[in-house]
Chain A
Amino acid sequence: MGLFDKLAGWLGLKKKEVHVLCLGLDNSGKTTIINRLKPSNAQVQDIVPTIGFSIENFKTSGLSFTVFDMSGQGRYRNLWEHYFKEGQAIIFVIDSSDKLRMVVAKEELDTLLNHPDIKHKRIPILFFANKMDIRDALSSVKVSQLLCLENIKDKAWYICASDAVKGEGLQEGVDWLQDQIKAMKT
Chain B
Amino acid sequence: DPVANLYTFTSCVALSDLHGDGDNKLVLGDLGTGLYNMKLKVYRGTGLVCENALIDLPTGVVAFLMDTSEPRTPALAVASGPYIYIYKNMRPYFKFTLPVLPVNALEEEVWHQAKEDKIDPLTLKEMLESLRDKSEVALSVKSLRYLLLDPNEMEGYVSLYKMQPIKRQTIITCMATLKKNMADEDAVCCLVIGTESGDMYILDPEAFTVQAKMALPSVPVYLDVTGQYDVEFRITVACRNGNIYILRRESRRPRYCVELGSQPVGLVRVNKNMVVGCAQDTLHCYTQKGKKLWTVFLPAAITTMAGMDHAAKGFQAVMVAMANSQVHVYRDKHLVNIILAQDVVTSLCFGRYGREDGTLIMTTKGGGLLIKILKRTAVFEEKDMSPGPPLAQSIRLNIPKKTKLYVDQTLRERESAVAMHRTFQTDLYRLRLMATRAYARVLEANLAPFSSSLSEPLKMNAVVQGIGPCFKLTLNLQNTSANQPSINLLIS
Contact = CB atoms under 8 A, between A and B. Distances in A.
Interface residues of B, number: 14
Contact of A98 (B354, B357, B371, B377): B354
Interface residues of A, number: 17
A78 B313 CA distance: 14
Interface string B367-410: 00001010111000000000000000000000000000000000
A154 interface: no
Nearest to B44: A100
Contacts of A100: 45-46, 353-354, 356, 371, 373
Contacts of A98: 45, 354-355
Contact of B356 (A99, A104, A136): A104
B356 A107 contact: no
Interface in B331-365: 353-357
Nearest to A78: B376
Interface in A105-142: 107-108, 111, 136
A107 B345 CA distance: 26
Contacts of A136: 47
A111 B45 CA distance: 24
B376 A99 contact: no
Interface in A139-170: none
Contacts of A74: 312, 356-357, 376
Contact of A107 (B47, B357, B375): B375
Contacts of B373: 100-101, 103-104
A26 B376 contact: no
A170 B87 CA distance: 42
A75 interface: yes
Contacts of B376: 74, 77-78, 107-108
Given A74-B376, A100-B371, A107-B375, A26 B47 contact: no
Nearest to B354: A100
A104 B45 CA distance: 13
A95 to B, nearest CB: 9
Contacts of B355: 25-27, 98, 101
A78 B375 CA distance: 13
A100 to B, nearest CB: 4
B422 to A, nearest CB: 89
Contacts of A75: 312
A99 B354 CA distance: 11
B184 to A, nearest CB: 19
B252 to A, nearest CB: 44
A104 to B, nearest CB: 6
Contacts of B354: 98, 100-101
A136 B45 CA distance: 11
Contact of A99 (B45, B353, B375, B377): B45
A104 B47 CA distance: 17
Contacts of B356: 74, 100-101, 104
Nearest to B371: A100
A25 B371 CA distance: 18
A157 to B, nearest CB: 23
Contacts of A99: 45-47
Nearest to A136: B47
Nearest to A75: B312
Interface in A52-85: 74-75, 77-78
Contacts of A108: 376
Contacts of B377: 111
Nearest to B375: A107
A74 B378 CA distance: 12
Nearest to A98: B45
Nearest to A99: B46
A105 B29 CA distance: 30
A136 B44 CA distance: 12
13 contacts: A26-B355, A27-B355, A74-B357, A77-B376, A78-B376, A98-B45, A98-B355, A100-B45, A100-B46, A101-B355, A104-B373, A107-B376, A111-B377
Given A100-B45, A108-B376, 11 more contacts: A26-B355, A74-B312, A77-B376, A78-B376, A98-B355, A99-B45, A100-B356, A100-B373, A101-B354, A101-B356, A111-B377
Interface of A: 25-27, 74-75, 77-78, 98-101, 103-104, 107-108, 111, 136
Across chains A and B, which 8 residue pairs bring their CB atoms closest together, nearest first? A100-B45, A99-B46, A100-B46, A100-B354, A27-B355, A104-B373, A74-B376, A99-B45
